[in-house]
Amino acid sequence: MFLKTDFIVIGSGIAGLRASISLAGSGARVTVLTKDKASESNTEYAQGGVAVVLSEDDDADLHEDDTLVAGAGLCDEKAVETLVAEGTKYIKELIEWGTEFDRDGGKLVFAQEAAHSRRRILHAHGDSTGAELVRSLIARAGREKTINLLPFANTESLIVQDGRCVGVRFLDPILRAPREIYGKAVVMCTGGAGQLYQHTTNPPVATGDGMAMAYFAGAEMADMEFIQFHPTALALEGAPRFLLSEAMRGEGGVLRNINGERFMDRYDERVELAPRDIVSRSIVAEMRRTGSRYVFLDMTALGEAFLLERFPKIHETCRHLGLDIAKDQLPVSPASHYIMGGVRTDLWGRSTLPGLYAAGEVACTGVHGANRLASNSLLEGLVFGARAGEAAVNDNSELQIPNSRTKDDSQSGMWNPGSGIATAVRKRVKRVMWERVGILRDRDSLQRAIEEFEQIAASNLSTSSRNFVTLANLVAKAALWREESRGGHYRTDFPEQREEFRLHSVQAICEGVRSAHRIDFDDHNVSVAKPQS
């Protein structure tokens, strides 16, 4: 038994909700599948805010320049221009829809974050920006009678017929059995893959299933080697790696080593406001130098009243864990946070597989390059979610929905739902990723990781476990291919940037890693051999 709808959206973070609203605006029936409850996504946990050009002393050129600098030479300029130019429009739209950004005397409050040249970060309820965005977008989506949210529907694979994505296989939460749903197109907004690593700020749902499903269905992946590790995740024994927002350093917090010494000036002249990759590597270097497992984030100079107002959620969480952010040194260390790579798309969310669109962290638009600028991710999900929904309608309005399942050339023989990612597979992959494909990498560790992943993949795995180990292998292979250090990718055996690697890595099933000048495959795509070492 199968279902039919006009368009299928996978994921209900900022990108998925905004794409759904665009799709429903055409009168189309939209079915939104989510692995957990509708509000559970990386967006929900976003503390730092959303970057946007709205303050009087800011302009688009400055925001674009900051994004390009953070991206270490790999941002696609057209994508950055689109993000910044349209971001202002879509944030104003959110405000019209009732999103409650923080204000002072009726005026929007703009905060500072690392690597931004202006105070341009909007927050909501202090450090609960993501939750407020999800709330307002779910409320707005609820006004569209053609949007049907289907929570706890774990998507397992894409359905491809005659070279086109026409549907999705998922586990029906009511029937507790596999089902299929067909539509004119699928918009994938499944978020990131932080759970690939032993230490992560991401929620349990961020396992990268969407990326793996797209890869197995035939879509190209890009820039999978670029993983952003957040410098300041709470490092308490037995506690989750709760994220301590970038904004805490933006507001004046300082990093101290285990001996209480401020150390960032040893590593970068921008000290605590250096880009995240530099701060993360600096913390690792300082931990190794001092023989410690963490450093301290010191907020005590800012005053209790300010900290309570500015970081209420962080204050409350730390209090439950026995820490007072106004009085105590907060133990922190890096954790995986964001993946710059993903499903390769053009500027309208189109993947290389007809009928499949992608937006948000699951996609690689070229906006972030080798390293994401703080607080650009929510803006990207908003802008490109809206664009992907609009393109899906415009591209496919005349298509007919398949009446029945016919020839299916996707993931032949792979449908084996099982019970999710096996515990043993999850633990083994996460450990290998942290130890061998982590903040510091080299050829030997990457080759050993790949060998181990391929050994795991050779066993009889459920679809979810296979997706998990395949995605880890894609990251490791792209990292092995890139023989340089750039942005979130650091090779100890190739510590410098190399101009011949100012290219994007591209991976497709049954192919090795190749390169392209642009993420946008409609413009000047190339396929070349690996640059000579």
Cα–Cα distance measured from residue 454 to residue 470, given in angstroms and rounded to the nearest whole number? 8
Please count the other Cβ atoms lying within 10 Å of the Cβ belonging to residue 131: 18
Q: Phi and psi of 480, rounded to 5°? A: -70, -40
The CA angle 240-245-246, to the nearest 5 degrees, is 135
Please count the other Cβ atoms lying within 10 Å of the Cβ belonging to residue 403: 9
Cα–Cα distance measured from residue 70 to residue 367, given in angstroms and rounded to the nearest whole number? 10
Which residue in 346, 434, 381 sits closest to 42, CA to CA?
381
428 tagged catalytic: no
Cα–Cα distance measured from residue 291 to residue 176, given in angstroms and rounded to the nearest whole number? 50
Q: Which amino acid is at 419?
A: S
| Residues paired with residue 186 on neighbouring β-strands, in sequence order | 8, 356
In 224-337, alpha helices (H): 246-250, 276-290, 304-310, 312-320
What is the per-residue DSSP string for 30-87? Answer: EEEE-SS-TT-STGGG--S-EE-S-STT--HHHHHHHHHHHTTT---HHHHHHHHHHH
Q: What angle do helix axes 77-96 and 60-70 make, rounded to 10 degrees?
A: 120
Please count the other Cβ atoms lying within 10 Å of the Cβ belonging to residue 29: 18
Q: Which helix (H) or strand (E) holds 425?
A: helix 423-436
| Token duo for residue 173 | 């939460």
CA 199 to chain centre: 16
Helix (H/G/I), strand (E/B), else coil: 443: helix
Helix (H/G/I), strand (E/B), else coil: 467: helix
DSSP state of 221: E
Q: What angle do helix axes 14-24 and 377-396 make, rounded to 10 degrees?
A: 30
Which residue in 292, 300, 254, 289 sits closest to 273, CA to CA?
254
Sorted by sequence, the CB contacts under 8 Å of residue 401 that are 6+ apart come out as 4, 5, 6, 182, 183, 184
| Token duo for residue 209 | 């299933």
Sorted by sequence, the CB contacts under 8 Å of residue 319 that are 6+ apart come out as none
Cα–Cα distance measured from residue 80 to residue 85, given in angstroms and rounded to the nearest whole number? 8
Q: Which amino acid is at 321?
A: L
Of 276, 281, 387, 441, which residue is the catalytic one? 276
Q: Which residues are catalytic?
A: 276
